[in-house]
Structure 1
Amino acid sequence: MSNSTAEAMPQPSGPLAGLTVFDLTRVLAGPTCVQMLADLGANVIKIEKPGSGDDTRSFVPPEMPGTGQSAYFAGANRNKRSLTLDIATSEGQRIAHDLIGRCDILVENFKVGTLSRYGLGYEQLAPIHPSLIYCSITGFGQTGPYAARPGYDSLIQAMGGIMSLTGAPDGEPMKVGVPVADLFAGLYGAIGVLAALRHREATGEGQQVDIGMLDTHVAWLANQGMNYLATGTNPPRLGNQHPNIVPYQVFATADGHIVLSIGNDASFARFCNRFGLDHLIENSNFATNAARVANRTLVTETLAAVLSRHSSAWWLEALEAIKIGCGPINTLDQVFTDPHVIARNNLVDLTDQSGNPITLVANPVRLSATPVDYRLPPPILGEHTDEVLTDMLGLSATEIAALRRDKIV
């Protein structure tokens, strides 16, 4: 694990160092996008409503031990400075405009049209700040019949088709166990911002990045989406089985379960040769992947009887020895203590504002020349208000005190 402290305000490093983000996001899709930019070195000013802040600050339990921070908020808000600002007031809007003029990127995930009521819509800011990159992340994008609707992860999973594909064949439609619709939208948003930065570098022009959660959800239907487009038939729910490859699924062992992933005919032949199943290779129902997909139930039942003979540990050792894809089904305590996860530094230790240790999931991007920069823990609400207003706008302590008295900050 890498280490960092919050004793001093370290300067950002990384490929986006020198760029400043005006962050008008909350909950998960927007904060995920901005945290990626922050980890890559961008200076992020997170704008939060005075008194309450990002909705996820109240998403407890659980809290991070000893910090008072919700675990949900901590997971998507490191490397950001928190500035409380009431953008519903004219003075708050004036301050926002002044700050945006000193920023390169604005990321927001308000409902379509909301920020325009405050003079902070793209169409209002673009003429004033033509080089500004303005990323909008919403449930359904800026156009189309659903544009005005709010977007929520489970709603998008339902409308985007993944729930129709997930779960047991005879069970109810099932959402994925983590908010994948939010996360994918945030990551696609970060990709869009990076592309817009490259365009601005070449032309000096900013632009709007329009991310709809439903759009991104449709995009990552991947092979299942293509299966439908190729056949015109809705793919069925298959539980833990793969729609295009067999066997590629969960099997019960003598003492638990493992995942067996046999991706091609050569691997299947190697599997059969090792475990006394050579007769299957000569059987037309098993000989090719296409045949195995067509005879899914027969293949599954045949191999289930074989896999049940030995323990999970026995199978994992034997399969790894012949380079057959396999793996345990880990609980999260096993994930975070896995030697490979540890060796790859997938956890990062920071120190919060009170000196308490805080462990977060690390950024998975590995850059050899400009590594991810862990410099700030998730901020306390309004922690950096005075600092930002002084450093970026030159406001005095007296002026900031007046803003605080009037509940502008």
Structure 2
Amino acid sequence: MAGAWTGADARAGKPLARIKVIDLTLARAGPTAVRHLADWGADVIRIEPPAADAGSDPTGATRHGSDFQNLHRNKRAITLNLKSEEGLALFMKLAAEADVIVENMRSSVKARLGVDYESVRKVNPGIVYGSISGFGQDGPYATRGGVDQIAQGMGGLMSITGLPGQGPVRVGIPIADLCAGGYLAMGIMMALFDREATGQGRWVTTSLLEAMVAMLDFQGSRWTMDGTVPQQAGNDHPTGIPTGVFPTSDGNINIAASGQRLWERFAHAAGLEALIADPRFVDGKSRSANRVGLNALIAEKTRLQTSAHWVDALMEVGVPCGPINSIDQTFADPQVQHLGLSKSVTHPEIGAINIVASPLQMTGTDREIASAAPDRGQHTDDVLGALGLGADEIAGLRARNVI
């Protein structure tokens, strides 16, 4: 299905409007990286195989479903058979004019197809080529396929998620995919910035495993510096005590009262002043050693009042706290609505839809969704026409299953 890109005007004035991106990604981590670029104005051309050669989406998403629409908004889409000589030649024409290529193929696959970094930079030395893999471009695991949950396990996250003694627990979002995509987008931006000074492109890589280990953050450095192997702490913060989930008369809330000053403020506000001088809780080390008993005493008090009561009372004295929302409650929250974290866009077939907005805000521009996720090959004729191909040439390519 051909059609002009409805988001062209919306790109104008956005920070990446002058950047052209070729998107070869599948699954989630790669498309997430590209989405960051597309949301801020990059002209993204997503390449997919012709329908006859297309497999199912690795995420299990249907094209008009919420996952696909959220992941691939603000992009154009063409079909191109990279396994054919003509398809590869067309890809190289596109690559010669591009600023960025993003892919998440295995090393052997991109080299076999001839779309790897070394091949592309022969036609475009300024290309910024971004790659995401499961475990890295080389090394003992380089040939393994990687998916989010595998990286969560290998990267240590599942060992510190969940209740003590529960056994490993995955995080409820594809956090390795999302973090790897975010890191790659940041790396691509650094390489583009460097290119302004050098004129040369770079190959920027990350992996699900690298992203997951980096995201361990202080939990990782507890091992690398202190030799401590962090364990599951459930809803309690592993080092800042008391911080965790506490019952109320109508549900549960999070309270973060770690540090001496916040602890004392909380104790006064909760009517637990006597605990301040209690030897079991007199300082952070004592509170950590007696966490279970302290949490039980706090729970006895918090369950006597509603969640709203405690949020108001603790906010008044500057102790961080908040409700524990279901997803529908999150999007109904007045602050979430004020921040505009759900954006509407119109899809030509399924109508108006709401999808999750970029988390970034920037003066002088907005984060409105420029266009819904495209249908397969929706912009093939437009993109190839811009390369100088005529209607008859395009029809011939389609007949030969090149596009």
Shorter-chain TM band: over 0.9
Amino acid at match of 1:283: D
Amino acid at match of 1:219: A
- Kindly indicate whether the alpha-carbon contact (under 8 Å) linking 1:113 and 1:121 is maintained by their aligned counterparts in 2: no
1:398 maps to 2:392:
yes
Task: Tell me the equivalent position of 1:29.
Answer: 29
Supply the distance in 1 between the matched residues of 2:304 and 2:122 (Cα, whole angstroms): 70
Distance 1:40 1:55, change over 3 A: farther
1:165 maps to 2:160:
yes
1:407 maps to 2:401:
yes
Q: 2:113 aligns with which of 111, 118, 127?
A: 118
Q: Describe the superposition over 1:293-323 as per-residue Cα deviations: whole angstroms up to 9, x where unpaired.
A: 1221121122121112222222222222222
Distance 1:193 1:180, change over 3 A: same
Structure 1, unpaired ranges of 5+: none
Supply the distance in 2 between the matched residues of 1:275 and 1:142 (Cα, whole angstroms): 54
* 1:141 aligned counterpart, secondary structure: coil
1:317 maps to 2:312:
yes
Supply the distance in 2 between the matched residues of 1:257 and 1:11 (Cα, whole angstroms): 42
Q: CA deviation at 1:373?
A: 5.3
Q: 1:102 aligns with which of 97, 106, 110?
A: 97
Distance 1:348 1:11, change over 3 A: closer
Q: Describe the superposition over 1:158-213 as per-residue Cα deviations: whole angstroms up to 9, x where unpaired.
A: 10000000011121200000000000000000000000001100110101001111
Task: Provide TM-score, normalisation by structure 1.
Answer: 0.93
* 1:73 aligned counterpart, secondary structure: helix
Amino acid at match of 2:36: M
Task: Tell me the equivalent position of 1:151.
Answer: 146
Distance 1:213 1:373, change over 3 A: same
Task: Tell me the equivalent position of 1:93.
Answer: 88
Supply the distance in 2 between the matched residues of 1:145 and 1:342 (Cα, whole angstroms): 47
Q: 1:376 aligns with which of 371, 381, 384?
A: 371
* 1:363 aligned counterpart, secondary structure: coil
Q: 1:193 aligns with which of 182, 188, 198?
A: 188
Task: Tell me the equivalent position of 2:18.
Answer: 18
Distance 1:208 1:57, change over 3 A: closer
Task: Tell me the equivalent position of 1:50.
Answer: 50
- Kindly indicate whether the alpha-carbon contact (under 8 Å) linking 2:92 and 2:123 is maintained by their aligned counterparts in 1: no
Task: Tell me the equivalent position of 2:41.
Answer: 41
Supply the distance in 2 between the matched residues of 1:405 and 1:89 (Cα, whole angstroms): 13
Q: Describe the superposition over 1:88-122 as per-residue Cα deviations: whole angstroms up to 9, x where unpaired.
A: 11111111011101101000011122111011111
Amino acid at match of 1:403: L
Distance 1:182 1:58, change over 3 A: closer
Amino acid at match of 1:364: P
- Kindly indicate whether the alpha-carbon contact (under 8 Å) linking 1:6 and 1:375 is maintained by their aligned counterparts in 2: no
Describe how 1:221-236 pairs up with structure 2 within 5 A: 221-236=216-231
Amino acid at match of 1:74: Q
Moved more, 118-127 or 20-29: 118-127
Distance 1:285 1:330, change over 3 A: same
Describe how 1:172-321 pairs up with structure 2 within 5 A: 172-321=167-316
* 1:134 aligned counterpart, secondary structure: strand
- Kindly indicate whether the alpha-carbon contact (under 8 Å) linking 1:6 and 1:377 is maintained by their aligned counterparts in 2: no
Q: CA deviation at 1:17?
A: 1.0
Amino acid at match of 1:83: I
Moved more, 325-334 or 49-58: 49-58
Q: CA deviation at 1:397?
A: 1.1
Give the number of aligned pairs.
398
Q: CA deviation at 1:69?
A: 0.4
Q: CA deviation at 1:9?
A: 4.0
Q: Describe the superposition over 1:191-240 as per-residue Cα deviations: whole angstroms up to 9, x where unpaired.
A: 00000001100110101001111011111101111112233231111111
Amino acid at match of 1:10: D
* 1:231 aligned counterpart, secondary structure: coil
RMSD (CA atoms): 1.8
Q: CA deviation at 1:11?
A: 5.6
* 1:101 aligned counterpart, secondary structure: helix
- Kindly indicate whether the alpha-carbon contact (under 8 Å) linking 1:136 and 1:209 is maintained by their aligned counterparts in 2: yes
Task: Tell me the equivalent position of 2:384.
Answer: 389
Q: CA deviation at 1:154?
A: 0.4
Q: Describe the superposition over 1:328-355 as per-residue Cα deviations: whole angstroms up to 9, x where unpaired.
A: 1100110111111111111111111237
- Kindly indicate whether the alpha-carbon contact (under 8 Å) linking 1:33 and 1:190 is maintained by their aligned counterparts in 2: yes
Q: 2:76 aligns with which of 63, 73, 81?
A: 81
Supply the distance in 2 between the matched residues of 1:398 and 1:378 (Cα, whole angstroms): 28
- Kindly indicate whether the alpha-carbon contact (under 8 Å) linking 1:57 and 1:72 is maintained by their aligned counterparts in 2: no
Q: CA deviation at 1:58?
A: 7.6
Amino acid at match of 1:379: P
* 1:182 aligned counterpart, secondary structure: helix
Distance 1:242 1:355, change over 3 A: closer
Q: Describe the superposition over 1:117-139 as per-residue Cα deviations: whole angstroms up to 9, x where unpaired.
A: 01111122223311000001111
Supply the distance in 1 between the matched residues of 2:101 and 2:7 (Cα, whole angstroms): 26
Amino acid at match of 2:384: L
- Kindly indicate whether the alpha-carbon contact (under 8 Å) linking 1:139 and 1:150 is maintained by their aligned counterparts in 2: yes
